Amino acid sequence: MPLGEKYGWDKSESRYCGVETEFHDNIPQLLAFNLSNGGFDFVLAPLMNPTYRPSLLEKDGGVVSVLPFAGSDLVLSPSQWSSHVVGKISSWIDLDSEDETLRMDSEITLKQEIAWANHLSLQACLLPCPKGASCANYARCVNQILQGLNNMQLWLRIPLLKAEEDSTDVTSTNLIDSWEQWNSFRLLCEHHHQLAVALDILSCLPSPNSLGRWFGESVRAAIINTDAFVTNARGYPCLSKRYQKLIDGFFNHSIQIVISGKSVHIIPGASADSAVTHLEKNTESPIPKNPLRPYLDYIAYLFQRMDPLTEQQRFELGYRDFLQAPLQPLMDNLEAQTYETFEKDATKYKQYEMAISKALVERVPEGATVTTVLMVVGAGRGPLVRASLQAAEETGRKVIVYAVEKNPNAVVTLHSLVKLEGWEDIVTIVSCDMRHWDAPQKADILVSELLGSFGDNELSPECLDGAQRFLKQDGISIPSSYTSYIQPVTASKLYNDVKSHKDLVHFETAYVVKLHNIAKLAPSQPVFTFTHPNYTSQKSNNRYKKLKFELANDTGSAMVHGFAGYFDAELYKDVHLSIEPSTATPKMFSWFSIFFPLRTPIQIRPGSPLEVHFWRCSGPSKVWYEWSVSSPTLSPIHNSNGRSYWVGL
């Protein structure tokens, strides 16, 4: 039973906690001791007797003896095998050994054990950590196996090693980086989506920046050794603040926790010896208390004290790391459900209302009888019309409003809204594309909601440039400017999701996505800025920007799978809307980030800058982005001439 349910805590997205065990030929008894008695959700257990070696196997009349697996498949039901057992491949295996006998034994055994695990329909198997600097043959065999695997995942065990010396010299040979070991292995296996990581958490931790890389990788489990626990005042196991923060991160990224090792705390009523004796002798006596239960209880305590999901987080849960094509509201008419989703974002419209109020107050002196002409271009179903009228009421300013909307279906709703609210004398509805409308008079304030996840990717510049002709020379545009931002990210899941389409088009498409299982490798930097109204001589909305990103020295190497994109918009003066991480508007959910993938992921190292090029291009009927990396290695220019992804004018 998951942690949240087990401990009576009503929280969605509960987590699982397993335990690593030694080989035992009575799997039902092993489960009873660790699940029924110990409270764990699954066991990470060897499937084969560790003394087995193919080269030592005796043959009788040319028939190979029965392999020493832990019981037949009939000792558990298929659902029990699937939900309660993760197979642990024999740890002695070394497929890159100089000893040919050991190497051959290892290859045969690896294939036998995984074939058996696949037969049992296990969800996952734990592969032992590579033994030396080279893992080419190990990776070759695993890659072969992955090609014929059904749905089972293979977790490669990687110890989370700390640098031997606290050296800032990134060229030092004394620095150990276990990420490099994982990266070499997954590159040899071609980023296979069924190959994942099980991190071995030991008694020391790398730097926070180094740890942060792993949250963008396909980490499925964190194996925490009992040696990593310290003792609290009551004699029970607990973890230091750094470990607690790391565990919280694992919970947030749906990484399963596994307790490993023997109890190293003397707790009243728990006897490790009696537990071992019970399992070794297969006794029928009452099962003693599991000595690792206090470690599970502490992990459960850490889970229980987490803040419950907010309403916004619950809304976003189903969108996490889910690739969506960006909206094209200029080319397509939005559906009612899409309008309804965005209209629920009270924070966004409150910011608009504040901006309009500030503009009205600064434009019309207190007590003046002037009527302000306000035009809402791209009015949708009317939320900005409502925000404009509320701003007028709050500031005591008189306004007339033109609501311009090209979607004929939304216009129907606008007419109903105006009639329902009694706005007939104040609001004029215009069913027209703003770029083609001949306004009867000039506007004092032009209000629009045309921003996309990258600021300009829903063609706000082109639309507002077209609408600028009916704005007074001293008129105000809300928003008055917006800037796009990018940052390099490790995003293994997103990369594999794009890769699964097996074509160029998807690698050259920008996606809207609620980023979650990613690692942000450097602070974001500004890309393109647009200002409205635009009275400069430079009317082109084409742009080009070259950016340089650097990793912090204590991060270690990392893999860039693509770029996360954001925007920051100045609505009016100091009133902003932002999804850029350092300035993000709290409790606003109308925009998720945008993701620009790379066809081939690029490895970067501290001290070796990542140079990126971004272009915004346009033609008679479309606008598109192109992007490329020029250092540390060259990538192709993605989406040349908008061949794969574009926004229709």
Q: What are the catalytic residues?
A: 449, 458
Is the N-terminal amide bond of 632 cis, ω within 30° of 0?
A: yes
Of the candidates 65, 66, 135, the one whose C-alpha atom is nearest the C-alpha of residue 103 is 135
What one-character DSSP code corresponds to residue 640?
Answer: G
> How many residues are recorded in the chain?
649
Tokens at residue 28, please?
């039902």
Residues 6+ apart with CB under 8 A from 172: 165
Distance CA 145, CA 111 (A): 7
Q: How far apart are CA 608 and CA 521, in angstroms?
A: 13
CA–CA separation, 334 and 171 (whole Å): 54
In angstroms, what CA-CA distances link 362 with 355, 366, 369, 372? Answer: 11, 9, 14, 12
CA–CA separation, 485 and 505 (whole Å): 23
- Distance between CA atoms of 591 and 302, rounded to whole angstroms? 31
Give the distance from CA 59 to its chain's centroid.
52
Interior/surface letters 220-234, b for 16+ CB within 10 angstroms, e for the rest: bbbbbbbebbeeeee
Is the bond leading into 533 cis (omega within 30 degrees of zero)? yes
CA distances from 155 to 35, 161, 222, 259, 578 (A): 22, 17, 11, 16, 38
DSSP 221: E
Whole-number Å distance between alpha carbons of 224 and 295:
10
Query: In this structure, are residues 551 and 604 in contact, taking their beta carbons and an 8 Å threshold?
Result: yes
The span from the CA of 224 to the CA of 243, in Å, is 10
DSSP string, 216-277: GS-EEEEEEEGGG-EE-TTS-EE--HHHHHHHHHHHHTTPEEEEES---S--TT--HHHHHH
Strand partners, 477: 446
Q: Which two tokens stand for residue 433?
A: 């594309």
